[in-house]
Structure 1
Amino acid sequence: MAWRASLSRSVKEIRFLFCQSSPASAPAREFVKKNYADIKTSNPSLPFLVRECSGVEPQLWARYDMGVERCVSLGGLTEAQIDKKLEDLAKAG
């Protein structure tokens, strides 16, 4: 996962949006719980935001240069698939 170390070169902000209690958001919550420390250690200046909102569909947002943002839905994905989505967003920047 060498791409994680260079995440802050292509992405200016990462934002996770999910529900605190819904089963659909469980993989996103677990992904953040397991990977937050590793991502922040590798990219200490990268804003990594977690937003919780009751009843919302889990989403991952990436902000790039010039305010460009991309969003992917995380509904129905496993933790491994969420990791792949984050990698794809990092490479898209």
Structure 2
Amino acid sequence: MKKIILSMVAGAVFMVSCGPKSTAVTGPKYTASEQLVQGKTIFENSCAKCHKLPDPAKHDDQGWIKTLSRMAPKAKLNDEQHQMVYDYLISVNKK
């Protein structure tokens, strides 16, 4: 019985450790112009590979959080790149 319980616990820990990391963007982090320029470059180079670039005014800040949370993994952005793109978009967003 102990082996079964121990196996189930080990399996659950393994499954959780293999899941996606949830280091989602929750708000702005970078404000320096250098990071915003990097965010723009990443946005233009990564997003345009698959589709036309969306207008930054298309979403408000929360809308970009949702959109980028869905699209950043597809674009293979790391957490820092994800944050820089978000910060760039909200810096030029008029909403």
Task: Tell me whether the two structures share a fold, i.e. TM-score over 0.5.
Answer: no
Structure with the greater alpha carbon radius of gyration:
2
- Normalised by the size of structure 2, how large is the TM-score? 0.30
In proportion to residue count, which structure has more helix? 2
- Normalised by the size of structure 1, how large is the TM-score? 0.30
In proportion to residue count, which structure has more strand? 1
